[in-house]
Amino acid sequence: MNNNTNESEKIKLSNSAKVLMAYIGARKFKWYFLNIFFVAYFYKISEQNIFYLSLYNLVVFIVGTIAALLLGNAIKSKYKMPIFRLGTVLYCLYLFLIIYLKEDIINHIYLIGFISGLGNCMCGFTFNMIQSEQIDIKERSKFEGYQSALSQTISLIIPIFLGAYITINSYEITATLVLVFTILTLIITLFIKDKNVQTKKMDLKRFAKILKDPKSDLLKKVYHIEFLRGITVSGTLTLIVMLLIVSQFESNLDLGIMTSIFAFLTITTMLWFGRFFNKNKPKNVLKLCVIAIIIGMIPLMFSINIYTVIIYHIIFSIFVELLNSITQVRLFDYSNKIEFKTALNTEYFMFREFYINSGRIVGYSILLFIGLTNNLVYLKVFLFLITLLLIYIAWLSNKISKSER
């Protein structure tokens, strides 16, 4: 264990990794505004019904999945970086619509969902490929831990700042500020160079054959995890946790302060992860995650109040994030295998996009139904189901680790 730790400490991050970290850090302004304060704003103007947010997210991920299929060949070729930058431009347009439409934005769910889904595909899907190509497998754990710690350190300041800024001014003025930082991320992308330009067209049939091969059992497990992440930590669970906090803290400043506190917990966890986590022996860490997730879920089943919500959010900020980081290291490690890192890199992430978005579509469809019924009991049942799926993700992750030894 000590040898692994010392070896991890000696690895230095490449310049490419540092540029990607700068990009990830800069885009945090956009992420926090859209995923916390704008969600809270949207939730309030929709009379606190999750139906509209679920419908919006369904549009986003359906559009994103279709766009990935249509743009796959262009992304695989020399147009990867232009498409990546165009996605950032679309996010600028999205923020402009928030400023222009104001509360009337709830009547344009399909329009903003379409723009967000297209931008998410161009940025998110493409960035996964770029990250896979730019980050060497030896520096993967350190990169994942350090970039998360950097992002969360920035996140200590941003939520409080945005919460206070919105309280003093308005959502529209704050959106203008966020737009400026989004333009900054566009400038940073100019320093990211494409390392894997392909001339061949995307070959999904070839990749499907590889996936069907009995020897690809581990790859299937990686994609099963992505599907389950789409339902849980990379989909509805994040929204549910966010709305639980919004329901308990009415002011934007309080929301910002609490978000920063939870971010601090994630920072310390990710610093440990980047420095000491041994990805070849995750069993004990995964067990701890499972026990903590169960402990955090039980109080919520009996009562949803400020205390049970804070307890669950603490568990989420530490152990759910830790579980999520372990699965992400595995995903990108697999993408660094020779056949996936070069010729089939686009296909690898195309299938990943399909699996994770399928999970998101399933999850938000369930949440849409819960929003229609407006029944708290159904929400608790869904949270219980999500907990079981998180446990299954931990089990699958451990199985993959055992198989690779």
Report d(CA 159, CA 32) in Å as an integer.
7
Q: Stretch 58-80: mean pLDDT, rounded?
A: 86
The percent of residues in the chain predicted with pLDDT above 90, rounded, is 25
Is residue 1 scored above 80 in pLDDT? Answer: no
Is residue 190 scored above 80 in pLDDT? Answer: yes
Tens digit of each residue's pLDDT (9 = 90 or more) over 350-395: 888 899 999 999 999 999 999 998 888 899 999 999 999 999 999 9
- Note the pLDDT of residue 13: 73
Binned at pLDDT 50, 70 and 90, residue 52 comes out as very high
- Note the pLDDT of residue 5: 47
Tell me the range of 22-36, 70-84, 196-210, 366-380 where mean pLDDT is highest.
366-380
DSSP 169-181: S-HHHHHHHHHHH
Burial pattern 167-182, b for ≥16 Cβ within 10 A else e, equals eeeebeebbebbbebb
Is residue 404 scored above 70 in pLDDT? Answer: no
Which of 4-18, 81-95, 130-144, 276-290 has the lowest average pLDDT? Answer: 4-18
The residue ranking higher by pLDDT, 253 or 366, is 366
Write down the mean pLDDT value for the chain: 84
Q: Would you list the domain boundaries of the chain?
A: 9-404
Is residue 285 scored above 90 in pLDDT? Answer: no
Report d(CA 284, CA 310) in Å as an integer.
25
Which of 6-10, 80-84, 120-124, 157-161 has the lowest average pLDDT? Answer: 6-10
Left (φ > 0), alpha (ψ -120 to 50) or beta: where does 236 sit? alpha
Of 179, 178, 180, 189, the C-alpha closest to 126 is: 189
- Note the pLDDT of residue 337: 63
The residue ranking higher by pLDDT, 368 or 213, is 368
Is residue 270 scored above 90 in pLDDT? Answer: no
User: Cα dihedral angle (361, 366, 371, 375), rounded to 10 degrees?
Assistant: -160
The residue ranking higher by pLDDT, 62 or 348, is 62
Tell me the C-alpha to C-alpha distance, in Å, between residue 97 and each of 15, 111, 175, 176, 223: 36, 10, 10, 11, 35
May I ask the CATH architecture of the domain 9-404?
A: Up-down Bundle (1.20)
The residue ranking higher by pLDDT, 284 or 343, is 284
Residue 157 in tokens = 């300041």
Q: What is the pTM of this model?
A: 0.83
Q: Stretch 148-164: mean pLDDT, rounded?
A: 81
Q: Stretch 333-359: mean pLDDT, rounded?
A: 75
- Note the pLDDT of residue 132: 74
Of 285, 317, 302, 316, the C-alpha closest to 386 is: 316
The residue ranking higher by pLDDT, 167 or 135, is 167
